[in-house]
Amino acid sequence: MKRILTGDRPTGRLHLGHYVGTLENRVKLQDTYETFVLIADYHMLTTRLDRLDEIGQNVRDVVLDDLSVGIDPEKTTIYLQSLVPETAEIHLYFSMLVTVGRAQRIPTLKEQMRDHEITQPSYGLLGYPILQAADILCVKGDLVPVGRDQESHIELTREIARRFNELFGPVFPVPEALIPSDRLLPGVDGASKMGKSLGNAIDLADDPETVKQRVMRMYTDPERIHATDPGRVEGNPVFVYHDAFNDDRAEVDDLKERYRTGRVGDVEVKKRLVAALERFLGPIRERRARYARDPKIVEEIVRSGSERARAEARRTLHEMRAAMRLDYFGE
C-alpha cells in the first residue's frame, strides 16, 4: 500500500477553506492509502517565535478538527513533529545536499517573508522546505497532497531523494505531489482566499450564531442593488459556498435560477446557506465535542501516533546512517 504524508502547521482552529482544500480529500484518502497526518510544530518556529505559548492549544485544536471531520486514528497516524526528533537529524543530513541558491529559489519564501513582514529570513525559514523534505522522507512518503503553491517544495524533496540515492544508495522513494483540487474557498469578505490571519474565515468549530453572523455579512454581487435586479451567480461567494456545502442540489439550482432573474433577494439566499452550513457543521461539532470532553483521548491519539511515526523515522535514520557510513560504532 502506498504511503501518504500530509499535515498542518498548528496556527489555530481549522476552517471551511481547509476542509475544501485538504480535509475532505484527506478523509477519502485514508481508506486507500497508509496515511500519516503531521502536526508541524517545528515549522511554527520559522515565523512565530513571539507566540510560542499558543502552540500547545493550537495543536489540540488542529487534532480535534481532524478528528471532527472524520479522520480515523485507527486508519491514520496522527503525530506531532517534535515527538519525532529523528526528523531534525534527517533534516541536518539533507541540508548538506542543498545549496543556498537552490533554497532561495523556492517561490514561497518571498510570500512567507511578505506575509509575516520579515525583511531578512532566518536560517530556519530558508531551510523550511528542507525540513519539509525530512518530514516526508522520514516516513518514506510516496505521495504528498499539496496545493499548487506547495508544488515547488515537493520538487525539492524529489531532488533531495534522488541526490541521496545517487550518492549513498537507494534508501528513499521519490515522492509525487498529489494535487487533489485547485479549488479555493473565498473569504466571507469576498477576498479570493479564506484565511485565519485575514479575519474572513468560518471555523469548523464555530457555534451556530457565529456562523449566521458571518454568512449574513457575506459579500454577494456588488452591482446588484435591489432584490428584483438580475444578479450574477458565477463568482458570487454565497453561491460558491452553496455549491460546496449545500446538499440540496435542487434548492441550489432553484436559487441560482431565481437570482439570475431577480426573483430572490440576498437575505433569503444567505438564510438558506446558513441552514445548509448547519446541516454540514452540526455532525462535525458533535464529533469534536465528544473528543473534547476527554482531553486524555486526544493526548493518547497523538502520543500513540507519534510512537508509530518515530519507529518509522528510526528505521529510516538507521538506513541513512548505514548508507552514509556514519554508523561507526553501530547503533
Give yes or no: residues 177 and 219 share one domain.
no
Per the structure, the count of domains in the chain is: 2
Give yes or no: residues 83 and 122 share one domain.
yes
106 vs 153: CA distance, rounded Å: 7
33 vs 59: CA distance, rounded Å: 24
CB 173 within 8 A of CB 142: yes
Question: What's the confidence (pLDDT) of residue 331?
Answer: 61
Give yes or no: residues 212 and 271 share one domain.
yes
Question: What's the confidence (pLDDT) of residue 193?
Answer: 79
CA-based radius of gyration for the chain:
22
Which ranges of the chain have pLDDT less than 50? none
Give yes or no: residues 130 and 218 share one domain.
no
The domain in which residue 233 lies consists of 206-289
Domain with 125 in it: what CATH number?
Answer: 3.40.50.620
Residues 6+ apart with CB under 8 A from 26: 6, 35, 37, 66, 69, 71, 145
Domain with 256 in it: what CATH number?
Answer: 1.10.240.10
Buried b (16+ CB within 10 A) or exposed e, 11-22: bbbbbbbbbbbb
Give yes or no: residues 134 and 234 share one domain.
no
Look up the pTM and report it. Answer: 0.91
- Asked whether residue 226 is domain-assigned, the answer is yes
- Asked whether residue 197 is domain-assigned, the answer is no
Helix (H) or strand (E) holding 131: helix 128-138
CB 24 within 8 A of CB 68: no
- Asked whether residue 104 is domain-assigned, the answer is yes
Q: What is the pLDDT of residues 257-269, one digit of tens each?
A: 999 999 999 999 9
- Asked whether residue 154 is domain-assigned, the answer is yes
* 41 burial level (CB within 10 Å; 0-12, 13-18, 19+): buried
Give yes or no: residues 16 and 147 share one domain.
yes
Give yes or no: residues 214 and 110 share one domain.
no
